[in-house]
Chain A
């Protein structure tokens, strides 16, 4: 019987031997080296039956089907737009998927989305060769104008959104900002200067304390105290 060197939820670093022998299988974030299974990323161990996999703690975003992401247009060509997805792979936004409006034959596509514009889109397909297709047809998928884009760790995005979007709507209510969180670790914020600063510091706090318990209460307190201060100044 093979030996497993780690427990569930242990933090491991790349190269660490997780298990010995051929009885276990290497899952995502691990690889087989000789008879052993080694970690290839920094992450938390998750043992699922005989498979050992790792939940990444950091790392680049990798496009996944049905993710809503914030992209930047990097090229305009005949049949659509090429967008940067904040990942190693760029994506294709085809003309057909770009807008529900009618686009005339031979129209200047730069009038619709120009290079440098940011758009919210949904990943419709990812091939095994990592050719990514995105679409902008759907609720909440739009061009972002004004505002600023903040980069965050993409593994922390679920924490920033919270259960059913509870965390992000709390920040929206407390700061009065419009916020769009992309699965690829980009967050778009637009609001008053003070509101934006508050939202950014709250998001950074979530990033740093995402592993601690009572996160929602901490953030609620953090946002609440800031609002009181602001009221105090006004009075």
Chain B
């Protein structure tokens, strides 16, 4: 952790401002585009400030898992491309990449917004498997929120390909969409000193005491949480962080059509 940077952020927080002049609960400019990749069944590009990520959704027909013979599933993978940050290296997924993918996966899975039973074609034999890939184009902080927003946008953009005689024709898309009942959105709240902030940039991520990613639904239902950072959080702190995340999630949700 960068001590000098942390004490400077706390000093700035004393006059209710941040390194780039934002308030504690302000997002940078958010933009969401869908249908950006022609080879994927669904795709999106999300920009939060200078952070940029691409999400692609592919589908495959597979044998279901033995413990859930009538359910399809989702698989989320995150790739932190070395071009997007000097700290990312080529090679097997790093802990950061695995955490990113799992937080996004859990947010969607535990919201129960996707009907996994509806993905079943033939119980015990064939189900649709939805494969979601997250690629970072530029990392300028807050990959968690960008990724969860991008994945939801890409899932809503997804159209099933034509499926006939056990063969998928990826070149021909049908009008069939995924059935999505809710929009889980994850918002990451940072704690630096005694201050709660959202949408961290890279420097704030380096100076963080604790962070909490909270995925919520439209009605405020909590779906998943992930805590990071070195210092513990008290239960009062967690409650106020969750409240802040729920409030901000409704702003982010407006970007998804």
Contact = CB atoms under 8 A, between A and B. Distances in A.
Interface of A: 116-118, 144-149, 193, 197
B21 A116 contact: no
Contact of A118 (B4, B11, B203): B4
A171 to B, nearest CB: 17
Contact of B2 (A116, A144, A147, A193): A116
A193 B17 contact: yes
A146 B8 contact: yes
B3 interface: yes
A116 B15 contact: no
Given A116-B4, A193-B15, 14 more contacts: A117-B4, A118-B4, A146-B4, A146-B7, A146-B11, A147-B4, A147-B8, A148-B8, A148-B19, A148-B203, A193-B12, A193-B21, A197-B20, A197-B21
A145 B15 contact: no
B9 to A, nearest CB: 9
Contacts of A144: 4
Contacts of A146: 4, 7-8, 11
A116 B6 CA distance: 12
B5 interface: yes
Contacts of B15: 193
Q: Is the interface of A mostly helix, strand, loop or mixed?
A: mixed
B3 A116 contact: yes
Bin chain B's interface residue count: 10 to 19
Contact of B5 (A148, A193, A197): A148
Contacts of B12: 193
Contacts of B5: 148-149
Nearest to B21: A197
A118 B8 CA distance: 13
Interface of B: 2-5, 7-8, 11-12, 15, 17, 19-21, 203
Contacts of A147: 4, 8
B241 to A, nearest CB: 24
24 contacts: A116-B2, A116-B3, A116-B4, A117-B4, A118-B4, A144-B4, A145-B4, A146-B4, A146-B7, A146-B8, A146-B11, A147-B4, A147-B8, A148-B5, A148-B8, A148-B19, A148-B203, A149-B5, A193-B12, A193-B15, A193-B17, A193-B21, A197-B20, A197-B21
Contacts of B4: 116-118, 144-147
A217 to B, nearest CB: 25
B30 to A, nearest CB: 21
A231 B110 CA distance: 53
A197 B4 CA distance: 18
Nearest to A192: B15
A174 B47 CA distance: 33
A149 B8 CA distance: 10
Contacts of A193: 12, 15, 17, 21
A40 B20 CA distance: 36
A149 B19 CA distance: 11
Nearest to B14: A193
A1 to B, nearest CB: 43
Contacts of A197: 20-21
* A144, A147, A193 pick with most chain B CB within 10 angstroms: A193
A85 to B, nearest CB: 15
Contacts of B2: 116
Contacts of B21: 193, 197
A63 to B, nearest CB: 18
A75 to B, nearest CB: 16
Contacts of A116: 2-4
Nearest to B9: A148
A148 B8 CA distance: 7
* A147, A148, A149 pick with most chain B CB within 10 angstroms: A148
A201 to B, nearest CB: 9
A193 B12 CA distance: 6
A214 to B, nearest CB: 27
Nearest to A147: B8
A116 B203 CA distance: 14
A197 B7 CA distance: 17
A105 B27 CA distance: 52
A145 B20 CA distance: 20
A144 B4 CA distance: 9
Contacts of A118: 4
Contacts of A149: 5
A117 B15 CA distance: 25
